[in-house]
Structure 1
């Protein structure tokens, strides 16, 4: 083992993807190349069980899978670059629909809790009416401890243009004006944009739950500082529906940069598009790493993309 590099970590590259089964995808070299572009790669529908071994060079993996049934179903997890692993803490909340982890505030400069989410479709046997209750309870508990919230996942909730912000009817006019003005200072307004044309029951339930929790779907809002999804609200599944979301506490909006819905690639997922964003970090933290586990080609130095 020898020392390779030390650098200021200004951003972390996150990618969210419903992978539709991780084991088969790891057979493709292009999938490995795509992963190397990420610092933290959040996955839904991993479809793993106790006998699967997910061992990827340069990354550490943390995941939970659904127990029971005749075939592999659901499952959530995340890959983290080896040299970032010490900054990541897995939080066990016994919620099979959400995998929680915290990034050390020394690196993130925020007390922030991340949740990788997979909610089964409404018609599936593992779905039930109050499926969002446990998620809501977790968020309330974390917020009580002073955490800001970031959710990444496949919610199977089609919200179209439903607002997840409080309305004038919910609060007095002065309070509502102050709230909207604060958002505009962050470069963001509450108008919603979506290429989806359908709203389902989960969509109504989820958008309604977001309001009192003060968390909001980022990829359906007009955020002037972000990427190619501004004024669009691109579909994330089958070029038809928006069900894969980033959901944030408003105080984290300034921490998000270079947000994009990436093009569909059948080597990455059966039907879902990847979602990518950069999370702005504390640039004073110096990260060093070794090359002992780093793959190289033709003995060239490894390339890290941030």
Structure 2
């Protein structure tokens, strides 16, 4: 799965349910400031026999593992086929700002990073499903953003903003 020449800089760190594979890419390979993790994930359709074999929620597993791995490596990318239909619904919290008077009162007690509104997605799939709702909730809670319909080359993936 990994070319020998890349193996010193690319490591498989976990495989879950034979469908979620975490890979660490060393910063030396990409000349980035830090390593980053890639979650390669396939979520079978809702009525798949996969769920008769594995009693799990792969969106929950992904989120749990993202929380775990982000503690050691904050740069996470997800490359996936999630069978999630989101239409053009927002993958960020709209109007997510703390009022200035609230910020003045709480001072430096906590750091709050508001979701930034991104360009609209031009998704040719107008349908939605339960997996789409789970994906959008995951995006809103984690800072992940869907590239589908935003990327000029039409790439269909999800990335976490750093």
**TM above 0.5, one fold?**
yes
Aligned to 1:238: none
Q: Contact 2:97–2:114 at 8 Å: present in 1 too?
A: no
- Call closer, same or farther: CA 1:95–1:137 in 2, change over 3 Å: farther
Is residue 143 of structure 2 the alignment partner of residue 217 of structure 1?
no
**Pairs aligned (count):** 147
Report which of the two structures shows the higher radius of gyration computed on alpha carbons. Answer: 1
Partners of 2:115 and 2:143 within 8 A in 1: no
Query: What is the deviation of 1:160?
Result: 1.0
Q: Distance in 1 between matches of 2:158 and 2:99?
A: 26
Q: Where does the alignment leave 5 or more consecutive residues of structure 1 unmatched?
A: 1-60, 62-79, 184-188, 234-244, 252-306
> 1:166, CA displacement in angstroms?
1.8
Q: Which secondary structure does the structure 2 equivalent of 1:116 belong to? A: strand
Provide the residue aligned with 1:165 in structure 2: 92
Alignment of 1:85-100 (within 5 A): 85-100=7-22
| TM-score for both structures, normalised by structure 2 | 0.77
**Which one has more relative contact order, counting CA pairs under 8 Å at least 6 apart?**
1
Residues 1:139 and 2:63 aligned together: no
TM-score by length of 1: 0.43
For the aligned residue pairs, the C-alpha RMSD in angstroms reads: 2.7
What SS does the aligned partner of 1:82 have?
A: coil
CA distance in 1, matches of 2:6, 2:23: 13
Cα–Cα, structure 1 residues 178 and 121, in superposed 2: closer, same or farther, change >3 Å?
closer
- Unmatched segments (≥5 aa) in structure 2: 104-111
Q: Post-superposition shift, 1:217? A: 1.1
CA distance in 1, matches of 2:39, 2:93: 23
Q: Would you say the 8 A contact 1:162–1:204 is kept in 2?
A: no
